[in-house]
Structure formats: structure tokens, C-alpha cells
Amino acid sequence: METTVGIVGGGPAGLLLARLLHARGVACVVLESRDRGYVERRQRAGILEQGTVDVLRACGAGERMDREGLVHDGIELRFDGRAYRVDLPTLTGGRRVTVYAQTEVVRDLISLQLAEGPPLLFDATVTAVEGADTARPVVHYRRDGVDARLDCDYVVGCDGFHGVTRTVPPPAARRVVERGYPYSWFGILADVPPSSDELVYAHSPRGFALASMRSPHVSRLYFQVPNGTDPADWSDTEIWAELASRFETVGDWRLRTGPITARSVLPMRSSVTEPMRHGRLFLAGDAAHIVPPTGAKGLNLAVADVVELARAFGRLHDDGSPDLLDAYSATRLRAVWRAEHFSHFMTSTLHLAPDQDPFATRLQLAQLHRIADSRHAAAELAENYAGFAPPDPLAG
């Protein structure tokens, strides 16, 4: 096959980019190593910034999201026996967030892609990308036991941290800046209505906890655990007791409990690959950067990446100008590092490090009290959490 843009990876970033390129008249092909069922079941983030919601609507993928997504006007910080609500619209000029699982975003985009978009090939395992620094890169892949190739003008890597494209640039041409964290998230899905109408972020003497949801009837909850924790070592009773202790606060709020249907442990790390371009290869989403989940930035950063790429390829298609493509890496890295900073701030403020001394804990509480007592501090958090609207992907 031949195409203008070869997209490696059929997750939300690759699928959305294909949708946006199709709208701009730019030919593309998506290669995804997994089968459709696996991709649609892959559990990831569920918080969509206002800008992400607007982009999904603009590309025709917003109908079910608008019907089933849960719009949130705030989040709650719980600490030192206190509960403080951050009102997002008031502090950001009207921006909100929407709870709509990544699995549902992917299902919507796949349906659109298969119905009216450019080719989407599942079970197409990319084995190599050659000629990224030439005028005609080649993506080699294997499908149905047969080796094949996709000749492109450009390649976009949306295949995640462990994908092929991130390591295509030689070591001398890339730099990976990373940070690990000495704790993980123990996450559960439970068949019980959420205990709160909005997300609750808790700092407690026992560590961090987050109360979230997937729907009005399904709760998604997390709590901080040591790295290497085995989910099987915790009984359901122990999980609920630990969560209840971490969310404890003044007032009559109670944690709702129910059958736990899934459990997993999520290691946490930060990583940025610089630059996000090598010749005619561009990196987007997790292939370029990883953030800890505390700030709810991962999926939204990926959307902003592909919006910028869609604008850049659209400009090139319309008038032959490569200016936006040439600026892509520098433009996105500024935003990526802003998101890394916010995600690290949320993580380091809400979690307890192993053997953390009382001085460090008091500093965390001082920061949280400042957010609750200062409109300026609360607005800073709200603006970063709700996100900044990306440019119109369908505009010039």
C-alpha cells in the first residue's frame, strides 16, 4: 500500500488523527497490532478536558459521549479532616471536564473509521520503520502471517511507550527524560453507584486515594500502595476498609461498597522523549510522553498532539507550507512539560513517600490549605486540571 500518512497504533491518538486527517482530505492508513476486541477493552483514562470534548464533537464522535458522559463542574480535595471543592467553571471562565471512559472513545472512533474513514488494519504488527530521514519512509508490518509494507510520505507513531516508533531515532538523535515514583496505584472497578457526584482526591495519613466513576452505576477507585504490590494479596473487605479510612473526613459522608469486578496495580512514571520528530517520523501520545495519572493529562495530551499534527498536515495539503510540521516538536514540548509539571505537582502533593518525615507532610498540607484558602492558588489548579483548549483541528 501507499499513502500520505502512515499511522502506527490504533488507540485513541491514532484513531482520532485518522479521523481529523480524513476531514482535511489527507490520505492515511492506520496499523494496529492488536485485534479490535482487545483495543476496545483496553482500560485507560476516563477524564476528558473541555478541549478534548470539543474536538470529539467537531470530528463527529461526540453523539454517544454527549448522551452518556458525566459532565463535572468540579473536583474535591480531602485532607487534614477537611473537604474543599474546586469549582472549575467559576475559576476557569466556564471550562468543565467530562467522565467518559477511553474504551468508549475508542469504540466511537473505530465505528466511524470503519464506516467512513481511511483503512484501519487490526492484527497488523509493525516490525520496523525504515527511511524516517528520507523522502519516502517505509513501515514494515506482518498481518495474517504475511509480511507487507506501507510506503508513506510521513509516519506518525501512536503506538505507545513500548511501541516500535519511539526507538526509531538513533540514540544520538533523541533524549529520554524520565522520573520514577516509589509507589503505585491499586485500582478497582466496583458495581456500586459512586459515593460522590464528582471526583474526590484524598491526602491521608495512610496515603493517597481517589474516588472516581465509570458510569452512574459503576465506581472506579484507587489507593496508593508500594511498588510491586500483588492485587491478589488484598481481600475485598481489606480494600474497602483501606479506602474508607483514607477518605475519612468530618461530616456524614460514607463510602459506598459493592462487588469488585476488576483489580489491578498501576506503576507510575514520568517520561518525555525529545524531540518529538525525527525526519519524517512524528511521535504523539504515549509514544512521546508518559505522565502519572494524578493530573488526568495522558489522554488529553495525546488529543492535543494529534490536533496539532492534523492542522500541520492540513496546512501542508492545502498550500504546501511545512511551517506547522517544522514547529510541531517545539510547540508540543512546551505544552507537554507544562502537563508534566502539573502532574508531578498533584502527585507529589497528594502521595506519601516511603518513610516520609513529618516536615514533608506538613509542607504538603500547607500547600493544600493554600489552595483551599486562596482563590489564586485554586484558579491555578483549576486551569491546569480543566486544560487549555487546543486550536480548531479543521481550521487552517
Catalytic residue among 293, 351, 390, 393: 293
Q: Residue 393 pLDDT more than 90?
A: no
Query: pLDDT band at 288, cuts 50/70/90?
Result: very high
Compute CA distances 106 → 58, 85, 158, 256, 288, whole Å.
16, 31, 14, 29, 20
Name the DSSP letter for residue 172: G
**Rounded Cα–Cα distance for residues 134 and 235 (Å):** 55
pTM (two decimals): 0.95
Catalytic residue among 289, 292, 385, 390: 385
Q: Residue 45 pLDDT more than 80?
A: no
pLDDT tens-digit profile of 373-392? 999 999 999 999 999 877 77
pLDDT tens-digit profile of 131-169? 999 999 999 999 999 999 999 999 999 999 999 999 999
Q: What's the confidence (pLDDT) of residue 84?
A: 96
Quote the cell numbers at residue 68. Answer: 452518556
Active site annotation includes 217: no
Name the DSSP letter for residue 328: H
Catalytic residue among 278, 297, 351, 393: 297
| Main-chain phi, psi angles of 75, to 5 degrees | -130, 160
Determine how β-strand 281-283 pairs with β-strand 146-157.
parallel
Q: Residue 24 pLDDT more than 80?
A: yes
Q: Residue 290 pLDDT more than 80?
A: yes
Active site annotation includes 162: no
Q: What's the confidence (pLDDT) of residue 209?
A: 98
**Rounded Cα–Cα distance for residues 91 and 381 (Å):** 9
Percent of the chain with pLDDT over 70: 99
First-to-last alpha carbon distance for the chain, in angstroms, is 28
Quote the cell numbers at residue 116. Answer: 467512513
Higher pLDDT, 45 or 364: 364
**Rounded Cα–Cα distance for residues 280 and 213 (Å):** 40
The single residue listed with the C-alpha cell 507544562 is 338
pLDDT tens-digit profile of 169-181? 999 999 999 999 9
Q: What's the confidence (pLDDT) of residue 67?
A: 96
**Rounded Cα–Cα distance for residues 50 and 95 (Å):** 6
Q: What's the confidence (pLDDT) of residue 396?
A: 59
pLDDT tens-digit profile of 80-90? 999 999 999 99
- Across all residues in the chain, what is the average pLDDT? 95
pLDDT tens-digit profile of 325-371? 999 999 999 999 999 999 999 999 999 999 999 999 999 999 999 99
Query: pLDDT band at 312, cuts 50/70/90?
Result: very high
Active site annotation includes 385: yes
What is the amino acid identity at position 382? A
Query: pLDDT band at 46, cuts 50/70/90?
Result: confident
Name the DSSP letter for residue 391: P
Catalytic residue among 201, 222, 328, 390: 201
| Residue range 2-28: mean pLDDT, rounded | 96
Q: What's the confidence (pLDDT) of residue 389?
A: 76
Any idea where the domains of the chain sit in the sequence? 2-72+96-179+268-352
Q: What's the confidence (pLDDT) of residue 327?
A: 98
Q: What is the CATH number of domain 2-72+96-179+268-352?
A: 3.50.50.60
Q: What's the confidence (pLDDT) of residue 250?
A: 66
Catalytic residue among 72, 278, 289, 351: 72
Helices (H), 206-275: 236-247
**Rounded Cα–Cα distance for residues 299 and 65 (Å):** 15
Name the strands in the sheet holding 47-49, side by side, starting at the edge strand that comes first in the sequence. Answer: 47-49, 97-99, 70-72
Lowest mean pLDDT among 9-18, 247-256, 259-268, 308-317: 247-256
pLDDT tens-digit profile of 54-109? 999 999 999 999 999 999 999 999 999 999 999 999 999 999 999 999 999 999 99
Active site annotation includes 293: yes
Active site annotation includes 154: no
362-376 b/e (C-beta count within 10 Å ≥ 16 → b) = eebeebbbebbeeee
Q: What's the confidence (pLDDT) of residue 243?
A: 97
| Residue range 296-321: mean pLDDT, rounded | 96
